[in-house]
Amino acid sequence: MRHKIAGRKFHRNTKQRKALLRGLVVSLFEHLKIETTLAKAKEARRVAERIITL
């Protein structure tokens, strides 16, 4: 049973998902703005906030 598994899969395997999020976050830091879907933006926000708070 899935009990509150955090994160979205985006119909990709782990390596593809990490590459997608890494690319979104890098673009965000380089350009200060990105255009993407709401779900991808929410996941990218989680990754970016972890980097910022380090």
Across the range 4-27, mean pLDDT stands at: 94
In a domain, 3, yes or no: no
Res 7: pLDDT: 86
* Structural domain includes residue 6: no
Domain presence at residue 1: no
Count structural domains, the chain: 1
Residue 45, Cβ neighbours under 10 Å: how many?
Answer: 13
* 24 occurs within a structural domain: yes
- The predicted pLDDT at position 5 comes to 81
- Residue predicted with more confidence, 1 or 41: 41
43 and 7 Cβ atoms separated by less than 8 Å: yes
The parent domain of residue 42 ranges over 14-53
- Does residue 7 lie within any of the structural domains? no
Whole-number pLDDT of residue 1: 79
Mean pLDDT across 35-47? 96
What angle (nearest 5°) sits at the alpha carbon of residue 7, between those of residues 50 and 30?
45
Q: Residue 32: inside a domain, yes or no?
A: yes
In a domain, 23, yes or no: yes
**Hey, what amino acid is at 54?**
L
pLDDT for the residue 6? 82
Q: Is residue 38 part of a domain?
A: yes
